[in-house]
């Protein structure tokens, strides 16, 4: 028992470190890509939005297979290291090939590799702590994730002011190396790979066979899972382009401070995300999972409207604090709701992958939509359009998505049998 306790503590500390360092790695260049292309390579907003959308499409194609891979493999740590290595290499090559198609291809590769990291981290976390401690562990994961983002953004902002926007590439390389060490420090013996895919000691009640996962048809027959996918898509259709748009507005005001001001926006949001993630981890099981998701959706229309009121730098950075509330709640509650809806099916990670695919479609359309609206009608119109999309998502969630927190194991399993007999669902 003492050895097991030591292994669990080591796994917990290693997960904390992995979430901290992978925070920067898993998103690649993220919003800094828009700043770099706008200020250093002289791209216009429409082309920036297009290349970011193309890259996101590559992630969409890879997302569901990535979730299935995480479900199937018992080498989850090595898969995470390989994905981080590919992502980092693709991003570091970007300054050497700054034309449209090389950038689109390199970012496509980066996105395709990066999509495996969120479900893999959630899977390892579930495999280490189990179902009953999962909500608290995800809250802790997200707290370290946001702390890592805030730290990297603060370093990027200060260093970019002195050395220029290219410094973000150096920070990405350092965090990648640190993430390799952190991931490999998670003891393999601490991971229960059946738990990590959403099975428990009793096996899958959907399939009717102990230890056997349900059929993949659960992804199409679970009505609450489909509704949740729609809500998540609308959340990201609204949210994904807001920060890049703010960064572009700030960069156009002062090219030399563009990256530093973007970092200030990121730091402001990430600092708020840390307590939000902790709040979800501590209170979500008591307050209700749907209620917190609704709060995350409601923040976006407010944020979009407030961005239109002023172009003042301090105001834009201040409004970005709202992103910390909305995204902080969403990041922590997302895997918890998916785990609720796929309990005992053995399809936790492929369901994550499928819903993140839908989410990525929203993100891809978001940057393209915002870029076109900004060019045609201005930044304020783009922000209001994005806010209206989130309002639709709020209405869909409020009216159609059931509360998942109070469902028993059997109820959660029956969610996967909507309109199909168990025998059909058991067939893969």
Supply the DSSP string of 103-120, one letter for each residue.
HHHHHHHHHHHHTTHHHH
CA 104, 108, 110, 115 torsion-angle sign: positive
Q: Considering the domain boundaries, does residue 11 fall inside one?
A: yes
Structure confidence at residue 82 (pLDDT)? 93
Tell me what pLDDT residue 426 has: 37
Nearest CA to 247 out of 177, 307, 203, 332 is that of 307
CB 73 within 8 A of CB 350: no
**pTM score, two decimals?**
0.77
**Residue 185 gets which letter from DSSP?**
T
388 burial via Cβ count (<10 Å: 0-12, 13-18, 19+): middle
CA angle 359, 26, 195 (to 5 degrees): 75
Give 161's contacts (C-beta < 8 A, 6+ positions apart).
257, 259, 260
Residue 428 lies in a domain: no
Does 139 reside within a domain?
yes
- What is the model's pLDDT at position 336? 92
Residue whose structure tokens are 């609204």: 238
Name the nearest CA neighbour of 185 among 27, 22, 336.
22
Measured distance CA(376)–CA(374) in Å, rounded? 6
Give me the pLDDT at residue 115, please: 86
Which CATH number fits the domain that encloses residue 271?
1.20.1250.20
Ramachandran area for residue 215 (φ above 0: left; ψ -120 to 50: alpha; else beta): beta
Count structural domains, the chain.
1
Q: Which helix (H) or strand (E) holds 288?
A: none
Residue 201 has phi, psi (to 5 degrees) of: -65, -15
In a domain, 130, yes or no: yes
Cβ atoms < 10 Å from Cβ of 286: 8
**Cα radius of gyration rounded to whole Å, the chain:** 21
Position 211 in a domain = yes
Which CA distances in Å does 29 have to 41, 149, 204, 228? 15, 12, 40, 28
Range of the domain at 322: 2-418
Distance CA 87, CA 114 (A): 6
Residue 199 lies in a domain: yes
Orientation of helix 321-341 relative to helix 348-377, angle to 10°:
150
What are the CA-CA distances from residue 422 to residues 182, 208, 224, 427 (Å)? 41, 8, 17, 9
Count CB-CB contacts under 10 A for residue 413.
24
| Residue-level pLDDT at 236 | 93
Residue 283 falls inside a structural domain: yes
How far apart are alpha carbons 380 and 155 in whole angstroms? 30
- HSE-CB for 406 with a 13 A CA cutoff: 7
Residue 198 placed within a domain: yes
């401070």: which residue's tokens?
257
Place of tokens 């002289």: 42
Point out the residues of the chain with pLDDT beneath 50: 1-3, 201-210, 408-428
Chain centroid to Cα 289, Å, comes to 17
pLDDT of residue 208: 43
């Amino acid at each position: 028992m003492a050895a097991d306790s030591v292994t669990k503590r080591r796994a917990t500390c290693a997960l904390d470190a992995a979430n901290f360092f992978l925070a920067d790695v898993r998103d690649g260049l993220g919003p800094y890509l828009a700043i770099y292309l706008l200020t250093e390579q002289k791209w216009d907003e429409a082309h920036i939005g297009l290349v970011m959308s193309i890259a996101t499409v590559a992630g969409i194609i890879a997302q569901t297979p990535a979730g299935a891979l995480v479900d199937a493999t018992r080498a989850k740590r090595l898969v995470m290291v390989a994905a981080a290595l590919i992502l980092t290499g693709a991003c570091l090559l970007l300054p050497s090939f700054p034309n449209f198609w090389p950038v689109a291809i390199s970012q496509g590769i980066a996105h395709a590799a990066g999509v495996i990291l969120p479900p893999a981290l959630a899977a390892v976390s579930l495999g280490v702590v189990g179902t009953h401690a999962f909500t608290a562990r995800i809250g802790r994961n997200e707290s370290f994730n946001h702390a890592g983002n805030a730290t990297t953004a603060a370093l990027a902002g200060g260093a970019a002011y002195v050395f220029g926007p290219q410094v973000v590439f150096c920070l990405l390389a350092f965090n990648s190396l640190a993430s390799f060490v952190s991931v490999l420090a998670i003891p393999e013996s601490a991971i229960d790979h059946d738990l990590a895919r959403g099975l428990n000691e009793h096996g899958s009640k959907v399939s009717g066979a102990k230890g056997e996962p349900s059929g993949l048809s659960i992804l199409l027959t679970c009505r609450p899972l489909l509704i949740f996918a729609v809500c998540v898509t609308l959340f990201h259709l609204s949210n994904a382009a807001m920060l890049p748009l703010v960064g572009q507005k700030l960069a156009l005001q002062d090219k030399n401070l563009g990256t530093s001001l973007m970092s200030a926006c990121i730091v402001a949001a990430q600092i708020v995300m840390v307590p939000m993630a902790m709040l979800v981890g501590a209170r979500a099981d008591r307050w209700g999972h749907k209620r917190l998701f609704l709060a995350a959706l409601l923040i976006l229309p407010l944020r979009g409207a407030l961005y239109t009121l002023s172009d003042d730098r301090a105001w834009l950075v201040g409004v970005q604090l709202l992103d910390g509330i909305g995204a902080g709640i969403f990041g922590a509650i997302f895997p918890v709701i998916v785990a609720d809806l796929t309990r005992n099916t053995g399809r936790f990670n492929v369901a994550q992958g499928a819903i993140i695919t839908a989410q990525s479609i929203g993100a891809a359309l978001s940057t393209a939509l915002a870029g076109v609206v900004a060019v045609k009608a201005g930044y304020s119109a783009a922000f209001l359009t994005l806010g209206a999309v989130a309002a639709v998502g709020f209405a869909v969630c409020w009216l159609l998505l059931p509360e998942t927190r109070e469902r028993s194991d059997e109820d959660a399993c029956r969610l996967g049998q909507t309109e199909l007999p168990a025998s059909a669902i058991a067939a893969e």
